[in-house]
Amino acid sequence: MSFVVCLAALFFLMAVAYRGFSVILFAPIAAMAAVLVTDPAAVPTIFSGLFMEKMVGFLKLYFPLFLLGAVFGKLIEISGFARSIVGAVTGLLGQGRAVAAIVLVGAILTYGGVSLFVAVFAVYPFAAELFRRSDIPKRLIPGTIALGAFTFTMDTLPGTPQIQNIIPTSFFKTDAYAAPWLGIIGSIFVFTLGVAWLEFRRRRAAAAGEGYGADHAEEPVASEDKITIHPAIALLPLFIVGIGNKLLLSWITASYGTEASAALNPDMVAHPVTVQVKAVAAIWAVEGALILGILATVLLGFRNLASRFSEGSKAAVAGSLLAGMNTATEYGFGAVIAALPGFKVISDALSAIPNPLVNEAVTVNVLAGVTGSASGGLSIALAALGERFVQAAQASGIPLEVMHRVASMASGGMDTLPHNGAVITLLAVTGLTHRQSYGDIFAITCIKTLAVFFVIGVYYATGLV
């Protein structure tokens, strides 16, 4: 019965998310309903002592990343830098390479620190314009944007500042550059197969005489504005984030050691504020790098930002609050589910997989798929089973950097099922439906899921990290 309670809570949350209801509202309802069935008297205690504790703990660690990423992305968009980058990439590849151009634009923005949700809004107008000129069916745009923004630059390429690559750092005491060779190999795998699939779909549509189409919803107006920002200037803030992340990580580790304490007044000397630096060094480094990127964008694009900064920053803050709270409530939900008796049945079944890397990949993939969230599923898996993963890796002689990369990649596998928030947002922004465009998104999902097992195979075959 307890096992059924766990599954019912999980599928209820998945169902309400698919129907478009707020996870912030229904995650605690689903969690507390499961507790109510198990032990009614425990509901208030579990709500305050577990659900809220875990939710707030997640926000304490990661909300600044959501906020800074959203602000940085919005500034890149409204400053005109995103348009300049699109123009440079399409000019370099040519109009005949529209699919690859949009994939690369999404990849550049998200690897440079722009939140993937923000990237959807920033890339879509240019994708629509380019696909219209190339007479490529509009229904292929969501899959193209998803490949560029939701896959290898989200969790596979070493150093990516996206939250899915940062969450494992606090569990495995690693950094954002964990297992760089495996990350690069996995990224090439995803990019190559993904572009090949989309090009196959484009050629098939062209052979059938299908073009861009007409009477589409949410169709952006073609812009005739001349791009006046040099691409090198537009790319500079993105480079600053990437380089700053690496340099700050080295500086923080060297300067603060393993533990940092601070006492701001004499009364605090006996009880100073203390932080275990190794658990948060990667988070601090990304936060600092994003701040540098924001400052660089403001300085370089001040003329275009001056009149739009107020409204743009408000929209970014609102978006970061929604994204952060969505993920935090899913994290609290996962902690409650993990505490239920029925979860032991699930974890025991998953632990029956003997190989630690395959075990981790399957576990994270399953939970990301059920919750419809890469960061939510990853957080749930590592919060509930992180210590077990560490012990299994140490017993098998597997570097924790490899565990980090596999967990991060697995989170971005089956997370993009139809109820995924980013998928729903992407389809809404482009004015397309699941029926029209989800097939290509699902193909990218399958490629991304396959990639993590490919990388595991590469590790065992070569020993590369």
* Residue 441 pLDDT greater than 80, yes or no: yes
Beta bridge partners of 261: 274
Regarding beta strands 273-276 and 259-262, do their DSSP bridges make them parallel or antiparallel, or are they unpaired?
A: antiparallel
Q: Which region among 126-130, 185-189, 221-225 has the lowest average model confidence (pLDDT)? A: 221-225
66-77 pLDDT per residue, tens: 888 888 888 888
One-character DSSP codes across 266-294? GGGSSS-EEEEHHHHHHHHHHHHHHHHHH
* Residue 346 pLDDT greater than 60, yes or no: yes
Return the pLDDT at 91.
82
Q: Report, as an integer, the average pLDDT of 54-71.
A: 87
Confidence of residue 442 (pLDDT cuts 50, 70, 90): very high
Return the pLDDT at 7.
81
How far is Cα 160 from Cα 164, in angstroms, rounded to an integer? 9
Using CA atoms, how far residue 219 sits from 126, 214, 386, 428, in Å, is 11, 10, 45, 11
Q: Which of 333, 340, 339 is nearest to 1 (CA)?
A: 340
User: Percentage of residues in the chain with pLDDT exceeding 70?
Assistant: 97
> pTM for the complete prediction?
0.81
Cβ neighbour number for residue 101 with a 10 Å cutoff: 25
Q: Report, as an integer, the average pLDDT of 290-317.
A: 89
Write the single-letter amino acid at 411.
S
Q: Report, as an integer, the average pLDDT of 353-375.
A: 88
Q: Which region among 36-40, 173-177, 275-279 has the lowest average model confidence (pLDDT)? A: 275-279
Residue tagged 């297992």 (tokens):
179
Return the pLDDT at 299.
94
Q: Report, as an integer, the average pLDDT of 57-67.
A: 87
Residues 167, 419 contacting (CB under 8 angstroms): no
* Residue 265 pLDDT greater than 80, yes or no: yes
Q: Which region among 125-139, 146-160, 201-215, 345-359 has the lowest average model confidence (pLDDT)? A: 345-359
Return the pLDDT at 405.
98
Write the single-letter amino acid at 26.
F
Cβ neighbour number for residue 276 with a 10 Å cutoff: 12
